[in-house]
Amino acid sequence: MSDQIRDALEERIISGALAPGDRLIELSLAKEFATSQAPVREAIKELESRRLVESIPYRGAHVREISGREMEEAYDVRGALEQLAGELAAPAFRGNVAELHAIVADLTAAATAGDAEGYSKHNFAFHRAVVSGAGNETLLNAWEALGFEMRVRINIARHQNPELVARAAEHVPIIDALERGDGARAGRLLREHALSCKERWRKRSLPSELPSADQNVADVPASCLS
């Protein structure tokens, strides 16, 4: 039951049916799902671990709002982590990139079809495969803690995004570098990919005016979160 409640609430958050700041009331949710408060409480804790929800003393659980400052910091950290991952993973991928090509083929197909769920899934799979290929569990844990899969899913679901195919294509040169065992180039491309997304996000709609560092991530074009 807790899994069902978690999945239902997660979908509402991703779709925007539950907006940042909305409160999750255990008693009301228990009545809605015809259950006790225990599985609701467990579901909310899982959503907290996924960084979709936060609990504040005396105020209860709310849908978490991701600030602009947090997104900028996350992109900086992601870029640094993936640069290191590319450098470390190159020997493992040298002449052995069939899996990455398959993922990017699925990624491109999802982008072409406008399949937001599929795009976020395959995008996550690609970057995780590279980071995992580095063979460093601490690095992988730090990267996963950034929670970019969920950020991509939320923002693609909430915005029309005509640039997904172009974003998917940015992964091909990374594969080429890894196939040659060129860790320095692969790492540089991975970092540039993350930082270019950050810059596109900062410039989003008004070219003459950068957004506030505390701007809500819900206002960000999905193409910048790939």
Same fold: 2-63 with 68-225: no
Can you tell me the distance from the alpha carbon of 160 to that of 181, in angstroms, rounded to the nearest whole number?
Answer: 37
What residues contact 184, with CB distance under 8 A and at least 6 apart?
A: 87
pLDDT number for residue 148: 73
Domain boundaries, the chain: 2-63, 68-225
Give the domain 68-225 fold. Four Helix Bundle (Hemerythrin (Met), subunit A) (1.20.120)
Residue 160 DSSP label: -
83-130 pLDDT tens trace: 999 999 999 999 999 999 999 999 999 999 988 778 888 999 999 999
Q: What is the pTM of this model?
A: 0.75
What residues contact 79, with CB distance under 8 A and at least 6 apart?
A: 190, 191, 192, 193, 194, 195, 198
pLDDT number for residue 155: 60
Question: Measured between alpha carbons, how far is residue 33 from residues 28, 114, 187 in Å?
Answer: 9, 32, 47
What residues contact 131, with CB distance under 8 A and at least 6 apart?
A: 81, 82, 85, 89, 139, 140, 143
pLDDT number for residue 52: 85
Can you tell me the distance from the alpha carbon of 214 to that of 207, in angstroms, rounded to the nearest whole number?
Answer: 18
Can you tell me the distance from the alpha carbon of 223 to that of 220, in angstroms, rounded to the nearest whole number?
Answer: 9
pLDDT number for residue 204: 53
Per residue of the chain (226 residues), what is the pLDDT tens digit?
A: 889 999 899 888 877 788 888 999 999 999 999 999 999 999 999 898 878 899 888 889 999 877 778 778 888 999 999 999 999 999 999 999 999 999 999 999 999 998 877 888 899 999 999 999 999 999 999 998 887 766 666 666 655 555 788 889 999 999 999 999 999 999 999 999 999 877 866 765 334 434 444 444 444 444 444 5
| Greatest Cα-to-Cα distance within the chain, rounded to the nearest angstrom | 58
Can you tell me the distance from the alpha carbon of 58 to that of 54, in angstroms, rounded to the nearest whole number?
Answer: 12
DSSP alpha helix (H) spans, 50-136: 68-93, 98-113, 116-133
Identify the CATH class of 2-63. mainly alpha
Extended beta strands in the chain, E state: 23-24, 53-56, 60-63
pLDDT number for residue 159: 57
Can you tell me the distance from the alpha carbon of 27 to that of 215, in angstroms, rounded to the nearest whole number?
Answer: 32
